[in-house]
Structure 1
Amino acid sequence: MTRRILGVTAGAAVLALASLSALAPPPAPAQDDLAAASAASARSASEQVLKLPEGLTQASVARDSFAAVAGVQGLAAGSTNRDWAELVLLLGDFPRTDDNITVMLRWMRQENGPDNWWNRNNPLNNGWGSGGNSGLGSYDNLVIAAENAAEALHSNPGYAGIVAGFSSSAPTSQIEQAIWASPWATSHYANGAHWSYTPVPVIESPAGTW
């Protein structure tokens, strides 16, 4: 009887120990094991590949295009009377509006005919820096001529009305009247009587003029 009780007691103790072992938390993983697991997870994430359904193509993204505003080199490469008109406006820090360009082209035509607008590399017959009196001097090239024309407009108080007109993109008639009233031409273009309003043809200058 005593042996049976002891056997039952011992069995109960073994079951109790087994139950406690089952309830106890597992031992914490070693530090090396944690690092290895982390590296494996990161490697798995970097190797993931997104598979797209068949027939699905990548959509193109439309972006607004921006037209580059021609600078000195771009205008010189164009080599036309319109390019030179724009170059004077650019160097004079004037807006390159259609009205401003139109006035410049008309003005150039009054000084030199369209077929020979580059005459002496001095389209406006500007005496400023050209070494000639009454605008009969010349420049080494048309870029230098444009620089001097812009400088002359800003340097002579008699051209203030022209500068104000170009700067504000005033109507063509207002700028032209300022040109006639200025000391640019001793004839004052007969106060407009000798001014032509027909469209000015766009003509390239010969090689080497720019």
Structure 2
Amino acid sequence: MQDARAGGRRAARRKVATPVTRPRAGVRSQAHRPRRSLAAAAVLSVIGLLAGFAIAPLPQPGDALPYAAADTPHRGDVQSLDVASDVAAPAVSHESYVATTGAQTLVAGGTNVDWSKLVLVEGGWPLTEENVTFMMRWMRQENGADNWWNRNNPLNNGQGSGGGSGLGSYATLVEAAYYAAENLQSGRYPEVDAALARGDSADATAQAIWASAWASSHYGYGTHWSSRPYEVIEAPASAWGR
């Protein structure tokens, strides 16, 4: 009796377990066939894409970009500028000194060259190399180079110095520069003023001062005038009022 019941239970377990744990033959292969087909198709697509990249040539540096279309609004436009044949090129200045040199800069420099420039600045004359050369030669004729600041009156100017004969003195070299320019523009030395305004010849300006009444000797009309190179010498700070 027990054997019969045990046999019935084993039969029942086989009948229930068979459809779950042991599927019918052919079911597994049919369920996986679509997945294998999709995987194969994906692999082929990737291979085809890579092959396309390998075959397509890379753009060269000189190739035009596809978006640089030839039908842009400005294609073929050329700008030109016509200049009249009678237009002359502007003159180029070759001056050695700039006209914007400030008085404070010159005072700080403190040399005889700085004082000569300060006179030119006070008179509004151009700071050309020729004008500076004339001033330096003139100063050397009036006072020795080693003592050019004598009595703070480098040109022995009588105007404003308290000495009509030019033996007066000034409080500072700055004041002396102002009165030197004022005297040269007083109307008594028009040729010298004009030559300094041109600023193109130290010799021409020298001839103008020789012919003037600045010095009673007229510098021997050039025989007492040296054109040798000048020396740059600094005056004491006290002479500048510093």
Q: TM-score, normalised by structure 1?
A: 0.66
> CA distance change for structure 1 residues 166 and 68 in 2, over 3 Å: closer, same or farther?
closer
User: Unaligned stretches of 5+ in structure 2?
Assistant: 1-97
Alignment of 1:92 with 2:160, yes or no, is no
Confirm whether residue 131 of structure 1 aligns to residue 162 of structure 2: yes
Are 1:175 and 2:205 matched, yes or no? yes
**Are 2:227 and 1:197 aligned?**
yes
Rounded to whole Å, the distance in 2 between the matches of 1:68 and 1:90 is: 8
Question: What is the rounded CA distance, in whole Å, between the counterparts of 1:185 and 1:165 in structure 2?
Answer: 18
CA distance in 2, matches of 1:192, 1:127: 22
Q: 1:141 aligns with which of 156, 172, 175?
A: 172
User: Structure 1: 5+ residue runs without aligned partners?
Assistant: 1-66
Residues 1:83 and 2:114 are matched in the alignment: yes
User: Does 2:188 match 1:158?
Assistant: yes
Query: C-alpha separation between the residues in 1 aligned to 2:139 and 2:131?
Result: 12
Bigger share in helix: 1
Match of 1:31 in 2: none
Secondary structure class of the residue paired with 1:73: helix
Q: Is the 8 A contact 2:120 2:126 kept in 1?
A: yes
**Cα distance in 1, alignment partners of residues 225 and 136 from structure 2:** 12
Displacement after TM superposition at 1:170 (Å): 3.2
Question: Displacement of 1:172 after TM fit?
Answer: 1.5
Deviations 1:163-202 (A, max 9, x none): 0000011311111000000111011000010000111100
> CA deviation digits over 1:35-62, x for unaligned, max 9?
xxxxxxxxxxxxxxxxxxxxxxxxxxxx
TM score, norm. by length of structure 2:
0.58
Which of 116, 122, 145 is 1:114 aligned to?
145
Structure 1 stretches of 4+ with a deviation exceeding 3 A read: none
Letter in 1 for 2:156: N
- Mapped partners of 1:79, 1:119: distance in 2: 14
Seq. identity, %: 58
TM-align CA RMSD? 1.3
User: In structure 2, what is the Cα distance between the partners aligned to 1:161 and 1:171?
Assistant: 13
